[in-house]
């Protein structure tokens, strides 16, 4: 029989090991007052090492617009951070520090997550010296949330406490693998935390490696996962897929005739069950310039070809 003390000791060991690769990020951003005067505003967030050569992952809202970025390591040493890439649509950023020989965290598989799994959020909440840790469970997956001026799709929902300052830190599983990047962009969340899936981070890094810079590929829709419960509640014609919750006026999706309530079940022949499936199919079709969608509308199945808009970020 496994003792509770042994489980507790095991978790503590995992947290100690991971915390060595979690950093605090301090920023200075210019702010304008009512008289249009400029004053420096200090901010704080978190991040974690993904490469021994000094590459750090954090949130875009942590470092976006910063005139000064400093990465603080667990031993208190500090390094100036340079922005490699920022993708506001994913709320992700990559930083580079001059220091080498760092220990990167192991990236897990967020697609394998299930509700009820134990997770830990590690970072520097409220600017407190860190890293500190909170524990919770995965409450849900595939959430679509409206943040501050951005819609974030396919988020992990957790009850692990996430406060300002935690943003950009890792959400890890019981094995010490990073499964998400915590974000505190949701101002109305009370006792509910959200994290960007680590597979989204992998995709972000893949696009930079392939195209040399982050790109945003989109067709102009926001979608949410269809579940058996939502299918019944909203009388949807299928129990799997993604339902269109918003179509941007004037976008390729709008011009192609997509409507709110349409359920997308396939994209370029690939099954679509979660928002990330649609996003990845669109990104994989950048060179084609179009994506072919299989759509269910009021019980009828349609094929819709939608042009892809690509923006350099």
Catalytic residue positions? 61, 91, 167
In this structure, the strands spanning 38-51 and 82-87 are unpaired
Residue that has been written with the tokens 């407190």 in this structure: 128
Where are the extended beta strands (E) located within 33-91? 38-51, 55-58, 68-72, 78-80, 82-87
d(C-alpha 137, C-alpha 146), whole Å: 22
What b-and-e string marks burial along 138-165, b requiring 16 or more CB atoms within 10 Å of the CB?
bbebbbbbebeeeebbbbbbbebbbbbb
As given in the structure block, the two tokens for residue 58 are: 């954090």
In this structure, the strands spanning 55-58 and 132-146 are unpaired
d(C-alpha 120, C-alpha 178), whole Å: 9
| Residue 101, CA distances (Å) to 21, 61, 94, 192, 225 in order | 11, 27, 18, 36, 41
d(C-alpha 93, C-alpha 95), whole Å: 7
Strand order in the sheet with 78-80: 78-80, 68-72, 22-32, 38-51, 55-58, 92-96, 82-87
d(C-alpha 236, C-alpha 234), whole Å: 6
3-state SS, residue 205: helix
């Amino acid at each position: 029989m496994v003792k509770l003390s042994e489980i507790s000791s095991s978790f503590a060991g995992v947290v100690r090991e991971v915390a060595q690769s979690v950093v605090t990020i301090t920023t200075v951003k210019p702010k304008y007052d009512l008289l249009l005067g400029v004053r420096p505003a200090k901010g704080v967030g978190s991040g974690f090492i993904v490469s021994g050569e000094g590459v750090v992952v954090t949130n875009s809202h942590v470092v976006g617009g910063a005139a000064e970025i400093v990465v603080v390591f667990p031993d208190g040493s500090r390094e100036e951070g340079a922005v490699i890439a920022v993708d506001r649509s994913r709320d992700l950023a990559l930083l580079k520090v001059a220091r080498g020989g760092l220990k990167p965290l192991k990236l897990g598989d967020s697609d394998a997550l299930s509700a009820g799994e134990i997770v830990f959020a590690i970072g520097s909440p409220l600017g407190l010296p860190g890293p500190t840790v909170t524990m919770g469970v995965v409450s849900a997956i595939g959430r679509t949330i409206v943040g501050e001026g951005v819609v974030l799709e396919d988020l992990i929902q957790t009850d692990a406490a996430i406060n300002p300052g935690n943003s950009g830190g890792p959400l890890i599983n019981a094995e010490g693998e990073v499964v998400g990047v915590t974000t505190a962009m949701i101002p109305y969340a009370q006792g509910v935390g959200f994290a960007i899936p680590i597979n989204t981070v992998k995709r972000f890094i893949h696009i930079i490696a392939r195209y040399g810079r982050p790109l945003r590929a989109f067709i102009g829709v926001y979608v949410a996962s269809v579940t058996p419960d939502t299918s019944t509640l909203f009388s949807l014609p299928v129990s799997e897929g993604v339902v269109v919750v918003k179509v941007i006026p004037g976008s390729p999706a709008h011009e192609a005739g997509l409507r709110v309530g349409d359920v997308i079940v396939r994209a370029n022949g690939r099954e679509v069950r979660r928002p990330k499936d649609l996003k990845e199919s669109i990104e994989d079709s950048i060179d084609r310039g179009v994506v072919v969608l299989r759509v269910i509308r009021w019980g009828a199945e349609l094929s819709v070809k939608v042009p892809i808009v690509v923006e350099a970020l």
